[in-house]
Amino acid sequence: MPLIAVTCMYDDKERRSFLKDGYIQALERVGAVAAVLPPSLSPQASAQALSRMDGLLLSGGTDVAPLRYGQQPRPNLGPVDPLRDEQEFALVRKAIELGLPILGICRGMQVINAVLGGDLIQHIDGNIQHQQQAPGWHRHHSVRIEPGTILARALGRSELGVNSFHHQAVGTVAPGLKVSARSPDGIIEAVESSEPWILAVQWHPELMWQRHEEFLAIFRAFVGACRGEENG
Ligand code: MN
């Protein structure tokens, strides 16, 4: 049974870590066990723990500190979590060194892009609303999926209605990553790489799969890669 390192949120005021159930239950549903690594664990210990695991899942959360991708903070930047940035940057580097598959969700996709040398749009201000005011499982906008990608093979479709809870997006795509989905306004909604195995989505499948089972395919593809199955 694959053991998956999962990152989580951190509340600096209360000094406690937390994570939504949907990630843990989705992994269990597709045959894996989540081992949650709180940001209070040092980057060194986090990276060490990863050497006993089979994959890395970067969950959603706050904004990445802009200096980490070569920008100054703009006025409309949201909250940042330096402790978590430090931990997750170390984890992504270690996962790549160990050859472990990585699944990035929302902030997770932004972290992966920043670690690999891309940058972010600090605040989206376009024609499509990307911060829905609706239940988490609601399909808010559509995305077009690039044919022939890991994501297209996992989902078996070229268009998908997704939820949307982000005010930032991937800007310049990091070398080694390719875009696998965009929303109609051109915002990058998924990126991936087959070597190392990386899949990252801007939406939140962990809030969707309970009502829309096709979103489990993302977790299934990831856990398959963690088992060493050919699906990339
Ligand atoms: Mn969106």
Residuewise pLDDT in 10s, the chain (232 residues): 999 999 999 999 999 999 999 999 999 999 999 999 999 999 999 999 999 999 999 999 999 999 999 999 999 999 999 999 999 999 999 999 999 999 999 999 999 999 999 999 999 999 999 999 999 999 999 999 999 999 999 999 999 999 999 999 999 999 999 999 999 999 999 999 999 999 999 999 999 999 999 999 999 999 999 999 965 4
CB atoms closer than 10 angstroms to residue 14: 8
Q: Is 204 a catalytic residue?
A: yes
Looking at 88, 189, 192, 206, which residue is catalytic?
A: 206
**Residue 98 domain flag:** yes
Distance (angstroms) between ligand 1 centre and the Cα of 62 equals 15
**Residue 200 domain flag:** yes
Three-point CA angle 213, 215, 217, nearest 5°? 95
Cα→Cα distances 194→30, 151, 213, Å: 21, 11, 24
**Residue 52 domain flag:** yes
**Residue 18 domain flag:** yes
Q: Which residues pair with 181 in a beta bridge?
A: 145, 190
**Residue 231 domain flag:** no
Q: How many distinct structural domains can be found in the chain?
A: 1
Distance (angstroms) between ligand 1 centre and the Cα of 117 equals 22
Distance (angstroms) between ligand 1 centre and the Cα of 96 equals 27
Looking at 106, 130, 189, 192, which residue is catalytic?
A: 106
Distance (angstroms) between ligand 1 centre and the Cα of 14 equals 30
Q: Is 140 a catalytic residue?
A: no
Distance (angstroms) between ligand 1 centre and the Cα of 131 equals 7
Rounded Cα gap, residues 108 and 57, in angstroms: 8
**Residue 71 domain flag:** yes
CATH of the domain at 129: 3.40.50.880
Q: Is 226 a catalytic residue?
A: no
**Are residues 113 and 173 in contact, defined by beta-carbon separation less than 8 angstroms?**
yes
Please spell the DSSP secondary structure of 84-136, one letter per residue.
HHHHHHHHHHHHHHHT--EEEETHHHHHHHHHTT--EESS--SSS--B--S-T
**8: enclosing H helix or E strand:** none
Distance (angstroms) between ligand 1 centre and the Cα of 126 equals 11
Rounded Cα gap, residues 29 and 7, in angstroms: 18
